[in-house]
């Protein structure tokens, strides 16, 4: 009989090793491309991407300071840190199932028995109760492992939020600087257009041109001036946006942000280390989080399967009880009990099957979410690389166009002063000059935004140490 019980126990133990559900083969990890850049590409390097504080590569102390403020004070990030603490507490709760529960009980009863006149009873007891679920099948182990993976996934979600936050701050900052520079472009062109307007008035007063030239000069001047309020409004908007991201009131930042700074975009494009797809995929925290969710759901499925099998318990008691409290700790008042037990639910309607089917569905959902995260990550990096490349090329062409526009305006003004061309040529050249210079600044800002988005797509901006 004893040998049969041992054999049954060994069967249960061997079964428990198969109760942890392995993820299905539906993951697309094996289909990740080996590379995504051409060997002749002069914009990117097949080196390990920048993981932390990529914004320091811009050499901008103001940007560095507001990034640090955002990391320390952003309220969404603070809330995410509390979600980590919550997940860790849930993990500790699940791990408590590994240990026995020990409780201490004590009682004292002081009464007068009416059936025995004058008899006063002093009764009491003191004891320990011990209860332990012996996790042979793996139910507790799988539930604890599921919570552990959820905790790890929550940590990766925090890292993903960090990645998004630092990119949002950098984008808002460069949008602010771009808008401020565009406002300077308007001011410079207004000064130039004012000179042109003065020239036309002087020539009109001398009888050399008609009032039409003066009216046209004023028209373009006031049209340019009308664009200032919108740009000034955008400057305030971006300062407010940065204030929210760094957890500060906007006017606390105006002293640092109101001062216009150039965006020092280099003539040659910044070479960005992008690594290879498999490295980038492992670096992105959203991919890591999705993978942890698969592990959590697999463990949860294993826990539901373990519920089909019997549960083993060990209970024990030890203590003292006496009708005479003064003799409570006498040896003859001692009691103890050791009681191993087995409980097997052989019928529960569709509870167990439903739980298992739901867990299987959740596992498949997590796998599909993981696959979608992989595809989105690859798309993000590829799109960001192309956008950065095209922005750099466009910026180069815009600079050349602006240079020619300067020459055109200079020639047109010189010919107009000598009376060789009409004023319409000057107006066209001056209008084009404003458009081309504004385009240069805007595209340079877009290039920086594209670079920021590339760093974000590569999963940089969080501490993975």
**Residue 58 maps to a domain:** yes
pLDDT > 90 fraction of the chain, expressed in percent and rounded: 30
DSSP string of 218-248? HHHHHHHHTTHHHHHHHHHHHHHHHHHHHTS
**Residue 41 maps to a domain:** yes
CATH of the domain at 258: 1.20.1600.10
**Residue 346 maps to a domain:** no
Cβ burial 109-148 (10 Å sphere, 16+ → b, else e): eeeeeeeeeeeeeeebbbbeebebbebbbbbbbbbbbbbb
Query: What span, in angstroms and rounded, lies between the C-alpha atoms of 90 and 303?
Result: 16
Dump pLDDT digits (tens) for 112-166.
665 555 566 778 888 999 998 888 888 888 888 888 999 989 999 998 999 999 9
Residue with tokens 């001047």: 221
Torsion, Cα of 226, 232, 234, 240 (10° steps): -160
Tell me how many helices (H) and strands (E) the chain has.
Answer: 11, 6
Q: Is the dihedral of CA 434, 438, 440, 443 positive or negative?
A: negative
Least confident of 97-111, 162-176, 181-195, 234-248: 97-111
**Residue 277 maps to a domain:** yes
**Residue 356 maps to a domain:** no
φ, ψ at 12 (rounded to 5°) = -60, -45
Global pTM reads 0.81
Q: Is the dihedral of CA 296, 301, 304, 305 positive or negative?
A: negative
Q: How many domains does the chain have?
A: 1
Query: What span, in angstroms and rounded, lies between the C-alpha atoms of 70 and 75?
Result: 9
Residue with tokens 């200032």: 228
Does the structure show a pLDDT above 90 at 175? Answer: yes
Task: Find which of 115-124, 361-370, 453-462 is predicted with most confidence, using mean pLDDT.
Answer: 361-370
**What are the CA-CA distances from residue 369 to residues 31, 287, 294, 331, 372 (Å)?**
16, 10, 9, 64, 5
List the one residue out of 12, 5, 311, 339 whose CA is nearest residue 133. Answer: 311
Q: Which residues pair with 109 in a beta bridge?
A: 123
Query: What span, in angstroms and rounded, lies between the C-alpha atoms of 456 and 48?
Result: 14
**Residue 400 maps to a domain:** yes
- Which residues are CB-contacts of 6 (< 8 A; sequence separation ≥ 6)? none
- Which residues are CB-contacts of 403 (< 8 A; sequence separation ≥ 6)? none
Task: Find which of 81-85, 192-196, 212-216 is predicted with most confidence, using mean pLDDT.
Answer: 81-85
Dump pLDDT digits (tens) for 208-256.
888 888 888 888 899 989 999 999 999 999 999 999 999 988 788 877 7
Domain holding 152, by residue range, is 20-99+138-309+370-457
Q: Select the more confidently predicted residue: 24 or 191.
A: 191
Dump pLDDT digits (tens) for 255-293.
778 776 666 555 556 777 777 787 778 788 999 899 999
Here the tokens at position 47 are: 């080196």
Here the tokens at position 419 are: 């009376």
**Residue 402 maps to a domain:** yes
* pLDDT tier, 12 (very low <50, low <70, confident <90, very high otherwise): very low
DSSP string of 77-145? HHHHHHHHHHHHHHHHHHHGGGS-EEEEEEEEEEEE-TTSTT-EEEEEEEEEEEEEEE-SSSHHHHHHH
List the one residue out of 160, 166, 157 whose CA is nearest residue 245. Answer: 166
Do 313 and 124 form a contact (C-beta atoms < 8 A)?
A: no
Q: What is the largest CA-CA distance in the chain?
A: 137
Does the structure show a pLDDT above 50 at 405? Answer: yes
**Residue 328 maps to a domain:** no
The overall average pLDDT reported for the chain is 83
């Amino acid at each position: 009989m004893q040998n049969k019980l041992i054999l049954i126990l060994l069967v249960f133990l061997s079964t428990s090793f198969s109760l942890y559900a392995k993820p299905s083969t539906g993951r697309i990890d094996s289909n990740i491309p080996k590379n995504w850049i051409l060997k002749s590409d002069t914009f990117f390097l097949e080196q390990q991407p920048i993981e932390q504080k990529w914004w320091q590569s811009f050499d901008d102390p103001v940007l560095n300071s507001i990034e640090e403020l955002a990391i320390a004070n952003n309220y969404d990030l603070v809330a995410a840190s509390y979600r980590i603490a919550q997940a860790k507490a849930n993990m500790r709760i699940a791990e408590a199932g590994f240990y026995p529960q020990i409780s201490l009980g004590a009682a004292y009863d002081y009464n007068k028995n009416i059936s025995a006149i004058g008899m006063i009873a002093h009764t009491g007891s003191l004891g320990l109760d011990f209860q332990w679920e012996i996790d042979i099948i793996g139910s507790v182990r799988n539930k604890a492992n599921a919570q552990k993976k959820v905790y790890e996934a929550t940590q990766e979600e925090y890292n993903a939020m960090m990645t998004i936050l630092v990119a949002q701050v950098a984008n808002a900052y460069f949008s602010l600087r771009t808008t401020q520079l565009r406002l300077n472009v308007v001011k410079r062109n207004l000064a130039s257009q004012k000179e042109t307007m003065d020239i036309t008035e002087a020539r009109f007063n001398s009888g050399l041109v008609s009032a039409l030239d003066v009216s046209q000069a004023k028209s373009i001047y006031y049209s340019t001036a009308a664009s200032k309020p919108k740009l000034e409004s955008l400057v305030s908007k971006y300062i407010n946006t940065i204030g929210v991201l760094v957890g500060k009131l906007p006017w606390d930042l105006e002293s640092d942000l109101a001062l216009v700074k150039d965006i020092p975009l280099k003539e040659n494009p910044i070479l960005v280390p992008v690594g290879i797809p498999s490295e980038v995929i492992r670096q992105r925290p959203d991919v890591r989080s999705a993978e942890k969710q698969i592990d959590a759901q697999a463990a949860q499925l294993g826990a539901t399967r373990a519920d089909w099998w019997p549960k083993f318990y060990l209970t024990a008691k030890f203590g003292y009880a006496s009708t005479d409290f003064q003799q409570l700790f006498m040896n003859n008042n001692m009691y103890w009990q050791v009681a191993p037990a087995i409980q097997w639910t052989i019928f529960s309607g569709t509870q167990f099957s439903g739980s298992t089917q739901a867990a299987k569905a959740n596992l498949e959902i997590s796998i599909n979410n993981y696959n979608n995260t992989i595809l989105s990550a690859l798309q993000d990096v590829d799109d960001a690389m192309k956008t950065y490349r095209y922005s750099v090329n466009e910026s180069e062409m815009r600079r050349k166009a602006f240079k020619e526009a300067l020459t055109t305006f200079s020639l047109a003004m010189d010919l107009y002063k000598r009376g060789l061309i009409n004023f319409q040529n000057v107006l066209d050249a001056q209008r084009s000059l404003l458009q081309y210079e504004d385009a240069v600044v805007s595209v340079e800002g877009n290039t920086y935004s594209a670079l920021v988005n590339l760093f974000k797509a590569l999963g940089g901006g969080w501490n993975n140490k």
